[in-house]
A and B are shown apart, each in its own frame.
Chain A
Amino acid sequence: MTAKCILVVDNELYIQEVVQIALETIKNWRVVTASSGAEGLLKAEKVRPDAILLDMMMPDMDGATTFQKLQANPLTQAIPVLLLTAKIQTADQKRYQEMGVHSTIAKPFDPLQLPAQIADVLGWQL
């Protein structure tokens, strides 16, 4: 089994780092990071990750817009996107589902649980 590759799009560097450490050391996954929606789109196209973790609230281009653009691009459209969001109201959840995101992961997450959470929602047998 080849190692999974995950793209993390979040403007906050320390969140990127925590995710990276968790995924790399616990599951040995490869992690690519992006600090803005625009950078995320570019990297998604280039590295074709197995999944994208996308922060919702970002300056300039927010998560929702980024997601739409990922969907519009045939090269990235098939990549499952997990929203990282601190908004946990059911109304928000519903909206995300309607948008077509695969799943949401609530912030703050427990770094040690994160890899299992991701594997779980994506149905990865590990």
Chain B
Amino acid sequence: MTVKTGFPDRSIDVSLVRSQKFAHNWSGDSFRDSIGPNVRRPMMKILVVEDDQATSETLTTLLNQCSYAVETATDGETAADLVAAFEYDLLLLDVMLPKIDGITLCRQLRNQGHTMPILLLTGKGDSHDKAVGLDAGADDYVVKPFDLEELEARIRALLRRGHLYTTPILEWGQIQLDPSSTQVSYRQQLLALTPKEYALLELLMRNPRRVYSCGMLLEHLWTYEDMPGEEAVRTHIKGLRHKLRDADAPADMITTVYGIGYRLKPLAELEKEAPSFQEENQAAIANIWQRYQARISRQVQVLEQASAAFQTHQGQLNPEQQQRAEQEAHTLAGALGMFGIHAGTDLARQIEQLLRLPQPLGMEHIKQFQAQVETLRQTIEAYGPFTPTDVSESLPPLPSLLVIDADRDWIKDLTGQASHWDWTVRAVMDLDAAQTALTQDLPQVILLDPAVADHKNQTIAFLEKVTHFTPPIPVLFYGSPNGLHSRLEVARLGGKAYLEKPIVPKQVLHEVDRVLHQSQAITAKVMIVDDDPHLLQFLPPLLEPWGFKVSTLADSRLFWQTLVAAAPDLLILDVEMPDVSGMELCQIVRNDPYWQNLPIIFLTAHTEAEIVNQIFVLGADDFVSKPVVGPELVVRLVNRLERMQLSQQLWQVDTLTKAYKRQPAIPRLEQMMKRAQESQQPLSLGLVKVMNLRNINAEFDLETGDSVLRQVGYALCQGCGQEDVVARWSSNEFLMGLQGIRSDDAEHHIQHLCQDYLQTHQQTDDAVPIQLDLGVVQYPEAGKTLSALYKAADQRRQREAD
């Protein structure tokens, strides 16, 4: 059939085989991913470009059966027009096509910035063709004649991955790479890269955490035909580094991982060390400030003495005092701004001007002088605590806090307390000043009293900015209870914690400490058991730079006590050892209820299938053959740990609702209670119950019920901060722990979440009626234990419902 696309400036005549598109019957359980009759999954749209009619029709039928919307084109040119006019989720592209061949089209589309997955259909099986196709930007290929099941699986896999190039512009630190224009810039300054240098950087930026060996880079960036030696890679890396350095970017942005390969320097290190010398310098200047605070304090003291003298001597200073005061005011005016204290410079300048007035000063001027000197003192003290001790330059910069609060006395208290923790505090009175402060120096934690903002939108705009830093700066809120109304937005934006005024600085600082430690990276503990002393010497220095904490054991007889003491996250075992072999140890671990899930990697000189098989039967997760090649071991360890973390998450999280499962939620909630008690901060527990779940399941079907639960769970999780806990407590109940918020506010908040959900639900599907009941209580008023709190919440829910 012939269809016109209806685009105003272009109409394309193409033969399209439209599937039974949106009118397709969605009922029945033949759909793998079906989530219920009333909740529509967006339909995936596939463009099949194939000139052979038989193949094209087979594909269309097959894909229709899998519930994809399919359109077809019979030549490259038509396909290009279609892609320009419509959005497709995936392209199935034949290599041999009339007008424009598949490879050329693929390259063209990628150059135009199209990012949908492309699957090539090729009649030729040789690697060169595949390589050329992949180099042209295809994501995968299938060789004709293809196995339908395999094709379908590949399509699913590609669709799961989604648009690979979802970020149109790649960023790493200050480097930006725009794949659509193949331009690279550092701080807006364009770098002139050769195609290979560009490709190298792009590959690294697409996989910033991955280490590439020379061999891997060769495989990725060169076709099989013109693959040069590893020396070529080094030359290109060198060229790239040179250009980075010329642009004032850190040349070690591309880091050599000794003995393994290349990777991008971790962002955390880039930020810490040298996004530029700017931060380095600011740290050095802050250091000077620290060391000269006593001197600056004395300078202010001279002004304070002058202020007192004006008072007692009727607006008159003796000439010597006058000259000194003027000198110090002048110096301060010239110096404070240099440290970033511009308000201090302004004040000192005004003070200097008052000192130049003919004396005796009138009462008004004396008062003005006094007030200005006082404010100057406060400004300076708020900027940093006076620590008489010398700060050695080799010390890392102190953790810094940015406090945004209009309450001067409170800031003063906080600043004083913070010095005990060795933290530097910067205080500003409003959000504008906070923005400026952020351009000068990035704090590790921000403390914000939302009352400083005139409007909550202002707070939200500020939060948006802050959470977009990499890594995001955690924000702690504290304020009067009624200042926390925008909790929903704030939680969505990643506010870290809520503290309620009145609160003493010490508690706030405890909370800051907790947040600081939380954001530090977790290192994995690895235990190695091997009777080869060389290996035990060789491995720790190889693994430690990667953040692994390594403990070693040569005598396998001491295994158990060492295991318990070291409590590793991962175990590396030698197969053959005197006394107790690695295989036996593996068995022991797998049979222990506590340790049974510990990941185990074997080191073995044996690669015979039989032994390897036996290792896996005993429960090993992986094996690495000896002699150990460092890079390989590191890669395997990292993979294993990533998978383990993933499975731990899966274990703790309810797969349907993405809320915590009940068991893992209990200790978290209890910890929240403990913390609330220690910090004297409110904690609320909310119970949300889907009242008519049973009816929904009965009237519609189980999938509909599941879909409702999933959406409610999602809505509740979205509306909570990272510190809060949402747990699926029973089949139709969610229990939420909300930190730092009173029960009436919490109730308001959860109600809001539920209403939001119900509204969106109504828009998409009004056929399924949903009733959500809610009960919120406060700890410890409503109960001291979790079960007491749950009961109280449930009672409250019933009362509310009545």
Contact = CB atoms under 8 A, between A and B. Distances in A.
Contacts of A108: 333-338, 342, 345
Given A13-B295, A86-B330, A21 B335 contact: no
Given A14-B296, A108-B336, A111-B338, A21 B285 contact: yes
Contacts of A109: 337-338
A25 B280 contact: yes
A21 B288 contact: yes
A84 B334 CA distance: 9
Nearest to B284: A21
Contacts of A110: 337-338
A107 B333 contact: yes
Given A25-B281, A57-B327, A17 B338 contact: no
B292 interface: yes
B331 interface: yes
Contacts of B335: 12, 14-15, 107-108
Contacts of A26: 277, 281
Interface string B350-374: 0000000000000000000000000
B596 interface: no
Nearest to A58: B327
Interface in A86-126: 86, 107-112
Contacts of B281: 21-22, 25-26, 111-112
A111 B285 contact: yes
Counting chain B CB atoms within 10 Å of each CB, the highest count among A18, A84, A86, A112 belongs to A86
A112 B278 contact: yes
Contacts of B338: 15, 18, 107-111
A15 B327 contact: no
Contacts of B334: 15, 84-86, 107-108
Interface string B322-347: 00000100110111111100100100
Given A108-B335, A112-B278, A18 B295 contact: no
A13 B294 CA distance: 13
Nearest to B338: A108
A90 B196 CA distance: 56
Contacts of B337: 107-110
A17 B288 contact: yes
A89 to B, nearest CB: 11
B289 to A, nearest CB: 8
Contacts of A17: 288, 292
A12 B331 contact: yes
Nearest to B326: A57
Interface string A18-34: 10011001100000000
Contacts of A74: none
A92 to B, nearest CB: 13
A21 B339 CA distance: 13
Interface residues of B, number: 26
B756 to A, nearest CB: 46
Contacts of A85: 334
A14 B336 contact: no
A86 B328 CA distance: 12
Nearest to A57: B330
A33 B180 CA distance: 52
Interface residues of A, number: 21
A35 B491 CA distance: 54
A122 B33 CA distance: 71
A107 B295 CA distance: 19
A107 B330 CA distance: 10
Contacts of A86: 330-331, 333-334, 349
A86 B282 CA distance: 22
Nearest to B349: A86
Contacts of B327: 57, 59
B671 to A, nearest CB: 44
Contacts of A18: 285, 288, 338-339
A105 to B, nearest CB: 11
Most B Cβ at <10 Å: residue of A13, A25, A108: A108
A16 to B, nearest CB: 10
A17 B291 CA distance: 11
Contacts of A21: 281, 284-285, 288
A51 B336 CA distance: 24
Interface in A1-54: 12-15, 17-18, 21-22, 25-26
Contacts of A84: 334
A15 to B, nearest CB: 6
Contacts of B288: 14, 17-18, 21
B284 to A, nearest CB: 5
Nearest to A55: B334
Interface string B283-306: 011001101100110000000000
B168 to A, nearest CB: 32
Most chain A Cβ neighbours within 10 Å, of B291, B296, B327, B338: B338
A21 B327 CA distance: 24
Contacts of B330: 57, 86
A98 B330 CA distance: 23
A91 to B, nearest CB: 14
Nearest to B329: A86
Contacts of A22: 281, 285
A108 B337 CA distance: 5
B328 to A, nearest CB: 10
Contacts of A112: 278, 281-282
A25 B296 contact: no
Nearest to A21: B284
Contacts of B282: 112
B404 to A, nearest CB: 23
A107 B345 CA distance: 9
Contacts of B284: 21, 25
A81 B689 CA distance: 78
Contact of B292 (A14, A57, A107, A111): A14
A19 to B, nearest CB: 9
Contacts of B289: 14
A74 to B, nearest CB: 31
B229 to A, nearest CB: 37
Contacts of B333: 86, 107-108
Nearest to A16: B288
B288 to A, nearest CB: 5
Contacts of B349: 86
Nearest to A87: B330
Interface of B: 277-278, 280-282, 284-285, 288-289, 291-292, 295-296, 327, 330-331, 333-339, 342, 345, 349
Interface of A: 12-15, 17-18, 21-22, 25-26, 57, 59, 84-86, 107-112
Which 7 residue pairs of A and B lie closest in terms of their CB atoms, listed nearest first?
A108-B337, A107-B334, A86-B334, A14-B292, A108-B338, A21-B284, A17-B288
Given A14-B291, A18-B339, A25-B281, 14 more contacts: A14-B335, A15-B335, A18-B338, A21-B284, A22-B281, A22-B285, A57-B331, A86-B331, A107-B333, A107-B334, A107-B337, A108-B333, A108-B334, A112-B282
25 contacts: A13-B292, A14-B295, A15-B334, A18-B285, A18-B288, A18-B338, A18-B339, A21-B284, A22-B285, A25-B280, A25-B281, A57-B330, A57-B331, A84-B334, A85-B334, A86-B334, A86-B349, A107-B335, A107-B337, A108-B333, A108-B337, A108-B338, A108-B342, A108-B345, A111-B285
